[in-house]
A and B are shown apart, each in its own frame.
Chain A
Amino acid sequence: MDRMNEIETKLRDSAAALAEAPPAGLDRQIVERAGGEKLVDVAYCSVDSPLGPLTVAGTRRGLVLVSYQEPDDELLQRLADDLSPRVLEAPAQLDEARRELDEYFEGEREEFELPLDWSLVRGFARRVLRATAGIRYGDVSTYTKVAGRAGNARASRAAGNALGSNPIPIVVPCHRVLRTGGAMGGYGGGVERKEFLLRLEGALPD
C-alpha cells in the first residue's frame, strides 16, 4: 500500500509540471469557432467609456444590454437566466456596438444604427422604450410625452419605471427624458451620468 501512496504522491507532485495553463490563444479559437457554429447565444464584453467601464451584451438578433455594472457574476447570471446559459465573453462579436459607442462618445455619431434585441423588456415598458428610441440627439422629451406615445399619457409613473430599468441605456436614450418643466428626474446610472450625456449632446449648457 505504501508504494501505491508513493505513486499517488508522485502523480500529484509532478502534475504541476505536466501542463501549464492552456495556451492563451486557445480560448479565443474556441469562442471564434463557437460563434461560427452559432453556439454563442449571448456575447458580452467590457468597454471603456468616459462614464467608466460598461458591459455590452448582444445576441444574434442585436444589442441586448448596455450596463454601467461590471460583468460580474450577478450580471452574467441574469443574462443566463433571462436569455440563455450560453453566455460567453466574445468581444469580436460586439465589434459594431463597440465602434458605434466609441464614435458616440467622441461626438462623431448622433444615431446608433446597430440592430437591437428587445428580449429583456416586455409590454408597456417595451413600448415606452421604443418611443424613447425615437427622441433625436440634442432633443429632450418628458415622461408624460413618452407615456402618451406608448399609448397611455396618464401612465407617466410607469413610464418612469420603464426608463429606470432600461436594459440598453445610452443607445436607447432614456437620458433624453426629463420631468415636465425641465427638472432632471432620475437615471438608472445616476443623475451625473444623465447630465454628462445631455451635455455631450448639447442639450444642456456646459
Chain B
Amino acid sequence: MSLPPFQSLLDSHRSDVYRFLVASVGPVDADDCFQETWIAALRAYPRLKRGDNLRAWLLRIAQRKAIDSHRARGRRARPSDSLPDTAAPEQMADGEPELWAAVRELPPKQRTAVFCRSVLGMPYAELAGLLECSQDAARRNVHQGLKALREEWTG
C-alpha cells in the first residue's frame, strides 16, 4: 500500500492534531508543539511501513511533543528560577476551561485516551494502536482518566 502525499495528511488531520495539542498543553504552547509534530512526522514519513492508521501515527507523535512540552514547562517552573511561573489565563470564552485544565494534568496516556474517545470518537482498535497497548488497556486508560476528572471536577 503506497503512502498518500504528505499534503493530504496535513489537510485531513491538521485540525484534530491541533485540538489534541490545545487539550494536552494549552493554547500557548500548542503552536510550537504543532510545528514540531509536523516536522517530526515529515522527517519520519518516507520510512513508514504502512499507510493505514495515519491519524493514530500523527497523534502519537503529537503526544510525544506534548510530553516534551510539559517537561520543558516543568523545568521553567522550578522554584530556583528567578521569574515566577505566571501562566497566562487561558483565553477560552465559553467551553469548560477548568475541566480542560484538569485534562491537561492527567498522565499522558489517560489524557490522550480521554481526548481521543470523548472528542474524536476514536474506535478502541485505533486508540490501542496510538497508545501502543492492548484494547483492554486502552479502555482502562479512558476509564481511569474519566474517573480522575470526575473526582477532580466535582470534588
Contact = CB atoms under 8 A, between A and B. Distances in A.
A8 B93 CA distance: 20
B22 A18 contact: yes
Interface in B92-112: 92-96, 99-100, 103
A3 B154 contact: yes
Contact of B46 (A16, A77, A84, A89): A84
Interface string B21-43: 01100010011001100110011
Among B38, B45, B147, residue most surrounded by chain A Cβ atoms (within 10 Å)? B38
Among A16, A21, A22, A29, residue most surrounded by chain B Cβ atoms (within 10 Å)? A22
A18 B23 contact: yes
B95 A14 contact: yes
A76 B147 contact: no
A26 B35 contact: yes
B42 A34 contact: yes
A11 B119 contact: yes
Chain B: interface size category: 35 or more
Contacts of A4: 143, 146-147, 150
B70 interface: no
B150 to A, nearest CB: 5
Nearest to A81: B2
Nearest to A3: B150
A3 B119 CA distance: 17
Interface of B: 2-8, 10, 14-15, 18-19, 22-23, 27, 30-31, 34-35, 38-39, 42-43, 45-46, 92-96, 99-100, 103, 114-115, 117-119, 143, 146-147, 149-150, 153-154
Interface of A: 3-4, 7-8, 10-12, 14-19, 21-23, 26-27, 29-30, 33-34, 37, 39-42, 44, 73, 76-77, 79-81, 84-89
Pick the 6 closest A-B CB pairs, nearest first.
A17-B95, A87-B5, A19-B22, A85-B3, A11-B118, A14-B95
